[in-house]
A and B are shown apart, each in its own frame.
Chain A
Amino acid sequence: MLRAALIFAFAVIALSSSPIAFAQSDCKSVVKPSPFGPDDQTGATNRVTPAVTKAAAAEIQTGKVTNMTYPLVDGVPLFGSRFTKTILTATSLAPGASFGENQLTYMEDTWLSQSHVGTHLDGMGHIGIKDCYYNQTPMGKFINQNNMTKLGLEHLKSFATRGVIIDMVKVFQDAGKLKSNAACKKPCLDKGTVITVADLQAGLKIYNVTLREADMVMIHTGWGDLFEQFPAQNALYNSGEPGLGKEAANWLAAQKVVAVGTDTWAVEVIPSENPKEAFPVHAILLTNNGIHIMENVRTDLIAAEAASTKRATFFVNMTVPKAVGLTGNFVAIDAIQ
């Protein structure tokens, strides 16, 4: 009896000393090392140096600000049981509830939401291969019930860099290969359309842009038109999307960009090029290269702006909350030209 109790006690101690009893993979053979050193938890925002920000500031010429964010409200496309909900939790508008002689009133709210909703950023802890995440991190050792203890958003640096819009609708129109979806009110690439390296290069060529290290690349596919129609087209929006193929993702990684965003929910082509692979572009960009992914980005306005001004570059105005241990979060983005 005593022996059994001792064995049980040892087992409890052994289990409690390791946060999660995962079978650990050899992450050095699964995920590429970070170019920013073995202890890095930041990823590609390391590339946004003072020199990069200073150079990006030169993009501000007219001061015109273009919105790149969709409204975040109950009813926008979400999957399954995901939710984003606000509750007005404190209000002093009731008669007699104001404060002091000066009749001060106030309001506050509670925001109950999952983090990967609306226009949002995927952090380094979002995607892994087996239990291996960015920078060969064996993630099973670094999670608890509430959050991650490594790779959280609090480690990100600035996104004060140059943004580049690549208008894929225009590329496909110019090439005579645009097959729009009938539900899109404006031209769009249809779901399942693979964006290739040649497509990206053609898009850059339209406005004579050469990518620089630390650029934030935004790709306009037109698929976001369905997001704008929420909730009418939510099911279609979520059913697939045009997006990057693996070759194009690897090419963008080789350009050392800081983030890739699109007006779709996953940036990459869905269904995937290989039906037996799950979100391979996510793994290429986030897990193996530390490059952020930005989803549900409103790209139509800046694409239209580029078409009218012949300028496809802008200064990115975006910050990410120092949300400790989070895998991603909704953001607001402005393009300043």
Chain B
Amino acid sequence: MIDTARGIVWLSRARLVRGAIAAAAASFALATGVAAPERRYTIAFANATEEPGVSVEGTGFTGAEIRQSFVLAARTLPIDLVFYDNHGDDARAIANAEAAIARKVDLYVQYHLGSTGNAAVAQRLKAAGIPMLAVNEAVPGTPLYTLDNAAAGRIAGEALAQFAGRTWAGQPTVAVVIGRVSTNTERVQGVAEALRKRLRNLRVAMLETQGNPAQVAPLLGPLLAAQPTSKLLIAATDDATALAAKAAVEAAGRARDVAIVGHGVDRSIHGGANDHKELDPTNRASIVLGSVAFYLDRMGYQVLPLALRMLHGEAVPARTATPHKLITPANVFAEYPPYDMN
């Protein structure tokens, strides 16, 4: 393995031999005019958890949706997939890696939140000469594909601050971050940083729901009551919380005083042309301005091309981040084309 300033190139002995064979085959094809069949690779994806109903990364997405994104992305790539479920457990993660080594996979995509387990997995794969690509938690010496929670939070904060500047300039305004606040610190800090950059002296309150949308109204209600003449900017750490916040604000009769931005863009907040969910081109007057896309349902489309580049011996960045983006009623169908029409 060679570390460079720009990226990491995996060149184990086995890969060097494979590369030499591929080069020889290419030369033969050029000389004879006969195209060699495209080499297929076996890539293992060890998912963080696929426990039904368990959401990941403080969003509304599940492990099953992430797995499905790999299945869909692999359709047009020379890749055969092998799936494992780490179940959020170090021992399970290590056992999965050992099973993949025994199966002689070409590359291992490790999505596990646990540094001890990740280090053990990396050590075993390195010994077996199998390259590894880490997801959402950095592992030393391994390329990383990751969410950028701080960037996502800044996008949300910027959207709220811009709205306040356009619509409520000079009026008393407060902000609140609500949801899984304590476990999404980078996301929350990103929101606060962007809000304060544009709206100096803005008070930013934190309301912890521990991921329970039913807690939103009891927490938000008193805040709304205590601020009868203020405008309120709400950054929700996930979409279910954003929708619960909207309901609470409407129940309090304060819809004209509030703007909300969520995080995730899961299926609870957007859907097809006939679903008419919150983020919909026909719903541009919503107090939910938008949500920051995390694309966990498209992770496979981002990760598998990176994995292929590694297998082809190309340099890949040490860290590749999700290109987070604010999704609004104006761009939701461009970004997530509906397919419930024909």
Chain A contact residues, CB within 8 Å of chain B? 79-81, 116, 192-194, 238, 240, 245, 265-266, 270-273, 275-279, 282, 295
Contacts and interface: CB of A to CB of B under 8 A. Distances in A.
Given A272-B339, A275-B301, A277-B337, A80 B274 contact: yes
Contact of B342 (A116, A193, A245, A275): A116
Interface stretch (B47-55, B58-66, B68-76, B239-247): B68-76
A192 B72 contact: yes
Interface in B326-340: 333, 335-340
Nearest to B75: A194
Nearest to B73: A275
B102 to A, nearest CB: 25
A271 B339 CA distance: 8
A257 to B, nearest CB: 19
10 contacts: A80-B341, A192-B75, A238-B340, A266-B342, A272-B337, A275-B301, A275-B336, A276-B337, A279-B339, A295-B342
B196 interface: no
B337 A278 contact: yes
Interface in B150-198: none
B298 interface: yes
Contacts of A194: 75-76
Q: Which of B71, B336, B341 has the most CB of A within 10 A?
A: B341
Interface in B294-342: 298, 301, 333, 335-342
A81 B272 CA distance: 12
B287 interface: no
A234 to B, nearest CB: 12
Contacts of A272: 337, 339
A79 B75 contact: no
A254 to B, nearest CB: 20
B71 A279 contact: no
Q: Is the interface of A mostly helix, strand, loop or mixed?
A: loop
**Chain B contact residues, majority secondary structure:** loop
A272 B340 CA distance: 13
B339 A273 contact: no
A221 to B, nearest CB: 15
Please give me the 3 A-B residue pairs with the lowest Cβ-Cβ distance, nearest first: A80-B274, A278-B337, A266-B342
A266 B339 contact: yes
B295 to A, nearest CB: 9
A245 B76 contact: yes
A273 B76 CA distance: 7
A80 to B, nearest CB: 3
A192 B69 CA distance: 11
Contacts of A273: 75-76
A238 B340 CA distance: 7
B202 interface: no
B340 A80 contact: yes
Nearest to B273: A80
A279 B274 CA distance: 16
A79 B340 contact: yes
A266 B342 CA distance: 6
Nearest to B298: A275
A312 B342 CA distance: 27
A159 to B, nearest CB: 20
